[in-house]
Amino acid sequence: TDCGISWRRTSYSKGGASLSTVNGTTSASFTPANASQWRTEKLVFRDFCTENLNNIMIGFEAVNDYGNNIFIDSLTLTAHSSYRNNALMKGISQPLPALCNGNFTPAIRFGNAGMDTLKSVDINYTVDGGAPVVYKWTGSLSKCDSVSLTLASGTAAVGTHILKIYTANPNGVADEATSNDTLTKVFSVYTQAAAPLSEGFETNDIPRANWGIQNVNGGTSFERTTLAARSGLASLRINNADAQNSYGAVDYFISPIVMNNSSYDSVFVDFDMAYQQGPQYPGSTVFPLDTLEILVTKDCGASFTSVWKKWGYELQTVNDPSYSNTELFVPADVTLWKHIKLYLTPFVGDDNYQLYFAMKGNKQNSLYLDNVNISTQTLPEKLKQQGYLIYPNPFNSSFRIHHHAVAPPTNLQAVLVYNAAGQVVWDKRYNGNADRQINVDLGKLGSGIYILKMMYSDKTVVERIVKN
């Protein structure tokens, strides 16, 4: 509208197979040989209310990526007169996609796309196809004007719902253009649930009540599949390579509101995942890569903290980190899956929280999730007091040394076991590589009293242990 100083993009953007008008590929310079190798495209541009209708240019932008020739012919631009009575829905700002209780108040913006001044209109909304709630608006809206409006409050049960809002009877007559009357919005209601929580995607009703899937940009999203599973029959898949998706498409798989409190020493989430990169990997500096991120929110999605984020070779679960896959990925066996366990306590404290599995897809390949588990750990009081626990004691064959810290005890230098004669019968040295739990096997030794010595960089601990 400003003679090329700025451009507004339309919904038309095609490349690769979706742009091609001929099946297959060729290494030759392409020239269409007959009418069957052409395709007619039609775009409809609406809502020019804010534009100068005497000065509109339409640009065709071709991006060269060493493909082949593009031919354009027979351009036709047709203008249509506006209708006299035509109300339109412009947007739904409330409710948000994720709600932490079932109360909501729809907030919308609607406008006048007709020639006549809009003086009255019915605004209706339904939830899941139920009885409509009607708001009768009166006022004065000139052509191209719009107004924000808050509708009557409603309630919804825990689960995923479809909100439909539509206009009717502008100025007391039938709307002459019903194609712009209706907008829909998917939202989910969550409630508190106690850990442990698990989701293995084995039932058909995915997402189950109190879990959610949020499709931010349209296109395909997370869905249950029986093509592959780490265990059981099904998993959760998102096909990032689907032609309906756009670059940077965002989708969420969302947990219930997990109840938390100060009695838990540790909070964890673990899950299985499978992924293989797409055709632009490795070495792509042009195409962004699919990215999976685990987010925590303690305020129902108002703010987020990232706890884990992977893309590129760190995201894929195949053995070859430089493999470029040109086919849709299906993990055919368990070796193509990876188990992930994340320690959440530093991010959530003792507050209630939700987890968002955030997929930012960039048209690369399919990602699979399975066996999502949210769990807590409460340690024995003695373990918390002294920082370690030795159990069982007395023992029959072996015993375990369990350290309190979530991270491995990097200051542990050695573990030694002495018999009653003072001889070393078990000796293990460490250099920052000790595990949190150390198993000591004395199965080949006789019964009696043994002395355990644990040598740290700043202290030495000596305990008496008894073998039955």
- Mean pLDDT of all residues belonging to the chain: 90
In the predicted model, is pLDDT for residue 283 greater than 60? no
The predicted model gives 231-235 an average pLDDT of 96
Confidence of residue 371 (pLDDT cuts 50, 70, 90): very high
Confidence of residue 322 (pLDDT cuts 50, 70, 90): low
**Predicted confidence (pLDDT) per residue in 85-143, tens digit:** 999 999 999 998 899 999 999 999 999 989 899 999 999 999 999 999 999 999 999 98
Confidence of residue 407 (pLDDT cuts 50, 70, 90): low
Distance from first CA to last CA of the chain, Å, rounded? 89
The predicted model gives 246-259 an average pLDDT of 93
With pLDDT > 70 as the criterion, what percentage of the chain qualifies? Answer: 94
**Predicted confidence (pLDDT) per residue in 435-444, tens digit:** 888 999 999 9
Could you write out the DSSP letters of every residue in 344-397? Answer: -HHHHTTS-BEEEEEEEE-SS-EEEEEEEEEEEE---HHHHHHSEEEESSSBSS
Residue 134's pLDDT is 97
**Predicted confidence (pLDDT) per residue in 146-176, tens digit:** 999 999 999 999 999 999 999 999 999 999 9
For residue 277, which of 245, 309, 306, 240 has the smallest C-alpha distance?
A: 240
User: What is the C-alpha radius of gyration for the chain, rounded to an integer number of angstroms?
Assistant: 31
Instruction: Give the 3-state secondary structure of residue 448.
Output: strand
Residue 275's pLDDT is 95
Distance CA 22, CA 45 (A): 27
- The token duo for 124 is 């209706």
The total of other beta-carbon atoms located within 10 Å of residue 463's CB is 14
The predicted model gives 397-419 an average pLDDT of 87
**Burial classification of residue 30, based on how many CB atoms lie within 10 Å of its CB (0-12 exposed, 13-18 middle, 19 or more buried):** middle
With pLDDT > 90 as the criterion, what percentage of the chain qualifies? Answer: 68
- The token duo for 80 is 């249509």
Residue 287's pLDDT is 64
